[in-house]
Amino acid sequence: MGRSRTGSGLAEDLLIELDRDAGVPLHRQIETSIRAGIRAGRLRAGASLPPSRTLAAGLGVSRGVVVEAYQQLVAEGYLASRSGGYTQVAASMPPVAAGAGPATPAAHGPGFRVDFGYGRTDVSQFPRAAWLRSVRAVLTATPNDRFAYLDGRGVPELHTALCDYLNRVRGTSAAPGHVVVCGGYGQGIALLIQVLVQHGARRIALEDPSSNDDALVLARAAGLEVVGVPVGPDGVEVGALHRADADAVVLTPSHQWPTGGVLSAPARAEVIRWAKRRGALVIEDDYDAEYRYDRSPVGAMQGLAPDHVVYCGTASKTLAPGLRLGWLVVPARLVGDVAAAKVLADRGSPVIDQLTFADFLARGEFDRHLRRMRPVYRRRRDALLDALRTQLPELRPAGIAAGQHVVAWLPPGLDEAEVVAAAARRGLGIHGVGPYRITGAGPGGLIFGYAILSEAAIAEGVALLASAVREVRGR
Ligand SMILES: Cc1ncc(COP(=O)(O)O)c(C=O)c1O
């Protein structure tokens, strides 16, 4: 049936140029060239690509390199595998937003020229080919009975793979029997609050400022009294925690959200002493820990006191929030209750996703993905800091060593809400710290989410902000 060939099947026909000194893996260079050819219309829908062996010979690379590139582009929807073992350009182009293309993610949120909205990870970099390999392995090899109902904690393979990863990389002291897989941190904190209430808790301490759309709302809805504990440059102020008279505290010790402070070793030890003395629970939200740029890793608090700390992890920042994959490492005395709450909530997280993630972790793909993404985010962070330094030197960036956002404190006299409003009038989306304060006043600050912005968009955004600040100053 009239397969239109691209020519002799040599690399020149596809305009693939490999730069072996570029530091970019060869399969990615091949992907980029083919993707560009399809987007530019040079490679038309239905055109056949050369067999992987032929292209590999033409390029002087191993066949596996070409196979990996083809698989990635099939996963993205640019190419299609046909029976008979040949590969064609797909009949229709995938939507741009779904492409894992070169690092030019959307710079513009709805209604904004540039949007520094936080909490967004660069999902265009989702490792589709590697994930697909794990899905395929799971669907091929997993016996039928593993797809039946399970207990609420999730699949044993993922418990083991997570413990191996967390104990190695995050310094936890996690045993497979203490892991509960959940639908992201959002569900994890909901289950924990439910169990705290069952156990008679009345007050919960939250960092002030902190995120206002999970623990705060859930705790109040469950009838708990919420106490805000002020956050300083190095995370929560432990002295204030002592005065809070709380049954539990939620902390982001590795990169406080939103101020970016890192809780010091003495402060961690003091929090643990507090928890032991009161019989209180520390809920450690470790969501931002995998992206560290300048400082040496800081281990999780859970490793210091596994009987007093619940460790909460999520794939939302490292892979994609749409996966809805999270995990709790729970003290022995609470595991049964948290698992029971999970069964009540949804009868357990999807098994195929869990097995896939277990396979992905066990193959080392998660480590590989993080190694690949760290320099990408670091470049964007550096672009932000450079732009702030040159265009807005009066702002004081903080928490820059980790994560996917930076806070910059405003000088006294510059009103946060006025700056945010003036920025919005210029098409710049940015959040102030103020709305995340529980107990009220504090210095003005702006939260810059940079993870999905190109370096050019970051520079444009800071220029818009500088213009907004000039307007507010000039009043
Ligand atoms: C403080 C904090 N922790 C954790 C998360 C991750 O939540 P989830 O795992 O439910 O996507 C977020 C999301 O932005 C967050 O702001």
The closest residue, in CA terms, to atom 13 on ligand 1 is: 119
Region class of 440: left (phi > 0), else alpha (psi between -120 and 50), else beta: left
Span 148-205, pLDDT tens digits: 998 899 999 999 999 999 999 999 999 999 999 999 999 999 999 999 999 999 999 9
| Percent of the chain whose predicted confidence (pLDDT) is above 70 | 93
Comparing 128 with 4, which gets the higher pLDDT? 128
Are the C-beta atoms of residues 339 and 387 closer than 8 Å to each other? no
Q: How many residues does the chain have?
A: 475
pLDDT of residue 94: 59
What's the domain range around 273?
129-363
- Whole-number mean pLDDT of the chain? 90
Give the domain CATH number at 241.
3.40.640.10
Q: How far is the CA of 361 from the centre of ligand 1 (A)?
A: 21
Answer whether residue 95 shows pLDDT above 70.
no
Q: What is the C-alpha to C-alpha distance for residues 400 and 403, in angstroms, rounded to an integer?
A: 8
Does 359 lie in the same domain as 281?
yes
Residue 319 maps to a domain: yes
Residue 4 maps to a domain: no
432-441, long-range: CB within 8 Å, 24+ apart, which pairs? 433/209, 433/258, 433/259, 433/407, 435/212, 436/209, 436/210, 436/211, 436/212, 436/258, 437/208, 437/209, 437/228, 438/206, 438/208, 438/209, 438/210, 438/216, 438/226, 438/228, 439/208, 439/228, 439/230
Residue 158 maps to a domain: yes
DSSP state of 298: -
CB 254 near ligand 1, within 6 Å: no
According to DSSP, the residues that pair with 236 across neighbouring strands are 231
Residue 301 maps to a domain: yes
Domain end (from 363, 397, 421): 363
Does 158 lie in the same domain as 296?
yes
Confidence tier at 45 by pLDDT (50, 70, 90):
confident
Listed in sequence order, the residues at least 6 apart from 12 whose beta carbon sits closer than 8 Å to its beta carbon are: 58
| Percent of the chain whose predicted confidence (pLDDT) is above 90 | 73
Comparing 36 with 220, which gets the higher pLDDT? 220
Name the pTM for this structure.
0.79
Count the domains in the chain.
3
Residue 2 maps to a domain: no
Span 391-406, pLDDT tens digits: 999 999 999 988 999 9
Q: What is the C-alpha to C-alpha distance for residues 412 and 205, in angstroms, rounded to an integer?
A: 29
Calculate mean pLDDT across residues 301-316: 98
The closest residue, in CA terms, to atom 3 on ligand 1 is: 287
Give the domain CATH number at 387.
3.90.1150.10
Does 447 lie in the same domain as 386?
yes
Q: How far is the CA of 12 from the centre of ligand 1 (A)?
A: 46
pLDDT of residue 440: 78
Residue 6 maps to a domain: no
Does 344 lie in the same domain as 377?
no
Q: What is the C-alpha to C-alpha distance for residues 229 and 240, in angstroms, rounded to an integer?
A: 6
Span 200-231, pLDDT tens digits: 999 999 999 999 999 999 999 999 999 999 99
Confidence tier at 110 by pLDDT (50, 70, 90):
low
Backbone angles phi, psi at 40, to 5 degrees: -80, -10
Span 318-352, pLDDT tens digits: 999 999 999 999 999 999 999 999 999 999 999 99
Does 330 lie in the same domain as 231?
yes
Residue 109 maps to a domain: no
Give the pairing type, strands 203-208 and 248-251: parallel
Span 408-457, pLDDT tens digits: 999 999 999 999 999 999 999 999 999 999 987 899 999 999 999 999 99
Does 329 lie in the same domain as 275?
yes
Does 240 lie in the same domain as 191?
yes
End-to-end CA, the chain: 72
Residue 241 maps to a domain: yes
Does 379 lie in the same domain as 359?
no
Listed in sequence order, the residues at least 6 apart from 95 whose beta carbon sits closer than 8 Å to its beta carbon are: none
Q: What is the C-alpha to C-alpha distance for residues 186 and 431, in angstroms, rounded to an integer?
A: 21
The SS3 of residue 222 is coil
CB 445 near ligand 1, within 6 Å: no
CB 321 near ligand 1, within 6 Å: yes
DSSP state of 223: T
Domain end (from 312, 339, 363): 363
Domain end (from 334, 363, 392): 363
Does 184 lie in the same domain as 84?
no
Does 391 lie in the same domain as 250?
no
Does 388 lie in the same domain as 356?
no
DSSP state of 5: B
The residue to mutate among 123, 182, 185, having the most atoms of ligand 1 within 8 angstroms of its beta carbon, is: 185
Listed in sequence order, the residues at least 6 apart from 159 whose beta carbon sits closer than 8 Å to its beta carbon are: 153, 176, 177, 179, 181
Q: How far is the CA of 189 from the centre of ligand 1 (A)?
A: 10
Q: How far is the CA of 185 from the centre of ligand 1 (A)?
A: 6
Give the domain CATH number at 84.
1.10.10.10
Answer whether residue 106 shows pLDDT above 80.
no
Q: How far is the CA of 327 from the centre of ligand 1 (A)?
A: 12
Does 253 lie in the same domain as 279?
yes
Are the C-beta atoms of residues 185 and 350 closer than 8 Å to each other? no
